[in-house]
Amino acid sequence: MKNTLVIDLDRCSGCDSCVAACKHENQMNLGVVRNHVSAIGPTGTFPDIEMYWLPMQCQQCENPGCIEVCPTGASYRDESTGIVLVNAEDCIGCESCLTGCPYGVRQMNPKTNTIEKCTLCFQRRGDEDWVPACVHNCCCGARYFGDLDDPESAAAKAVVAAGENAHYLYDPADLKPTTVYILSEKTAKWQDEPVEVTRYEKQ
Residues 113-132 that bind other proteins (CB under 8 A): 121, 123-128
Tell me which residues in 147-166 interact with other proteins (CB under 8 A).
Answer: none
Q: Which is nearer to other proteins, 151 or 192 (CB)?
A: 192
Kindly state the smallest distance separating residue 6's Cβ from other proteins, in Å: 14
R_g (Cα) of the chain, nearest Å: 17
Cβ density class 87-98: b for 16+ within 10 Å, e for less: eeeebeeeebbb
Kindly state the smallest distance separating residue 27's Cβ from other proteins, in Å: 10
- Rounded to whole angstroms, the Cα distance separating 79 from 91 reads 19
3-state class of 133 per DSSP?
helix
Tell me which residues in 54-83 interact with other proteins (CB under 8 A).
Answer: 62-65, 67-69, 73, 76-82
178 and 2 in contact (C-beta within 8 Å)? yes
Size of the site for other proteins (CB under 8 A): 83
Binds other proteins by CB under 8 A, chosen from 95, 113, 170, 189: 170
- Rounded to whole angstroms, the Cα distance separating 201 from 203 reads 6
Q: Is 23 in the site for other proteins (CB under 8 A)?
A: yes
Q: Is the bond leading into 42 cis (omega within 30 degrees of zero)?
A: yes
Q: Is 168 in the site for other proteins (CB under 8 A)?
A: no
Kindly state the smallest distance separating residue 42's Cβ from other proteins, in Å: 5
